[in-house]
Amino acid sequence: MISRSSSCFLSAGLCYSLGLGWLQKDRMLLGSLGLLLALSTLCSSLDNGLVRTPPMGWMTWERYRCNIDCKKDPENCISEHLIKSMADKMANSGWRDFGYEYVSIDDCWSEKKRDANGRLQPDVERFPSGIKALADYVHSKGLKLGIYGDMGNYTCGGYPGTTLDTIKIDAETFAAWEVDMLKFDGCYSNSTEKAIGYPKMSAALNATGRPILYSCSWPAYEGGLPPKVNYTLLGTICNMWRNYGDIQDSWDSVLNIIQWFARNQDVLQPAAGPGRWNDPDMVIAGDFGLSYEQSKAQMTIWAILAAPLFMSSDLRTISEDAKEILQNRILLYINQDALGKQGRRVITSGPLGVWKRELVNGQYAVAVLNKGTDGTPKPYVTSLGLLNITQCTEGYKLYDVFAQEFWGEFKSDTAINMQINPTGVVLLFIRPASIAHHP
């Protein structure tokens, strides 16, 4: 934890332009990122060195589901062609350079039966070159490949699952294919099997010697408010975990997840940190169901929550508006903050919810979400004092992340006036005033 005076002082002394678009970051900040990364390895998390900041990438499920009909729908079926074309887009349309790194295959990639040696095998028609060749292709683009398995007799889509007996061979198969991430779902097993299987798969992946991001769906299957799992244990065996039901392509679904996260934040928030993240599920901004305002709202809350950002949309046809939101530099900077501290909802006021995340070097992100649907932007007045952002007595600089506007310097009692659009957000990036540069 940076102390009150040092965070103001550190930022004041050593500022350089990093050309972060309209924002200027300072080099000291990067220096302290390194220190924080080193320190954070002391915290208890899965010991594979991965995802010290939330992982970013793309995943098939929400947009492409279990579409296996490559005859009728060759461009959109779960196949090596789909994965390669998304990898091409990720490398060529700026996504990779913004940090979107993992290209992840969800369910429905395998044959319905294991091979003669008891190994999982990809569907021969849809993945004719095999997963190893696909991994090579994805790696050649500077990206990483994710795959999906299930702790249970079958995957949720009815493909072969991983039982307690096949954990070792499946971990070895994924490593031999040079896969970089495993989403391990939890259909068709009971709580006892999960309690044995999830830690066992973690150990089996580690034993392969290949660093494989391990995404666990365990808590999402245990039910309860909050889910009845040991989050301290989860943080030591998994890099990220799903807590709740599947996201669908609608605002209702996004709002439902946001509210669930707020309601359970006392348990969820302390569980997250570098190497171990709560996963509110895929980013659907860029898909069909969300308006422009709602897309900004989803990305904002996911940034405040330090959530993994796995898009599930068609990057070949995505709109420029959506791309601009998903590639907003300051928003991604907030999401990727090296302190790795998940934010919280700190105030509710009628339809408004105020969310706050502490960042490195005494910086903060504050978001106000308006879930109202009465068609009128809602005014909201607050101050840094009311938001409890008072450590730096010389005040703070405020930036509106989506409007890309500098709002000026604020003392703790200066009024902060906002207008929040229906089902929209205002996202503010807040830095100690002592940081020399501003946009």
Residues counted in the chain: 439
Least distance to ligand GLA, CB of residue 420, Å: 30
DSSP, collapsed to helix, strand or coil, labels residue 438 as coil
Instruction: State which residue, 68 or 436, has the beta carbon closest to ligand GLA.
Output: 68
Active site residue 123: no
**Distances 326 to 41, 129, 309, 319 between C-alpha atoms, Å:** 29, 32, 9, 11
Report the nearest approach of ligand GLA to the CB of residue 105 (Å): 10
- In angstroms, give the least distance from the CB of 107 to ligand GLA: 3
Residues found near ligand GLA in the complex (CB under 6 A): 61, 106-107, 155-157, 185, 217, 246
Is residue 185 part of the annotated active site? The answer reads yes
| Residue among 155 and 342 whose Cβ is closer to ligand GLA | 155
Cβ at position 370, least distance to ligand GLA in Å: 28
Cβ atoms within 10 A of the Cβ of 237, count?
A: 23
At 423, list the tokens: 């089902």
Rounded to whole angstroms, the Cα distance separating 96 from 56 reads 9
CB of 283 to ligand GLA, least distance (A): 13
Q: Which CA distances in Å does 382 have to 85, 357, 372?
A: 46, 16, 19
- Measured from the CB atom, the residue of 26 and 281 that comes closer to ligand GLA is 281
Q: At what angle do helices 130-140 and 80-92 cross, to 10 degrees?
A: 10
Structure tokens at 229: 């799992």
Active-site hit among 246, 249, 321, 400: 246
- Choosing from 26, 185, 279, 281, which is the catalytic residue? 185
Phi then psi for 424, rounded to 5 degrees?
A: -130, -175
* 100 or 148: CB nearest ligand GLA: 148
Contacts for 108 with CB less than 8 Å, ≥ 6 apart: 65, 66, 67, 68, 78, 155, 157, 159
Least spacing, CB of residue 382 vs ligand GLA, in Å: 36
Please count the other Cβ atoms lying within 10 Å of the Cβ belonging to residue 116: 7
R_g of the chain, CA atoms, integer Å: 22
Q: Which is nearer to ligand GLA, 161 or 432 (CB)?
A: 161
Helix H or strand E encompassing 396: strand 396-400
Q: Please identify, using beta-carbon distances, which residue of 174 and 396 lies nearer to ligand GLA.
A: 174
What CA–CA distance (Å, rounded) separates 320 from 96? 17
How do 181-185 and 416-420 pair as beta strands? unpaired
In order of 68, 69, 78, 86, 121, the CA distances from 126 in angstroms are 8, 9, 7, 15, 11
Q: 61 or 231: whose CB is closer to ligand GLA?
A: 61
- Active site residue ranges: 185, 246
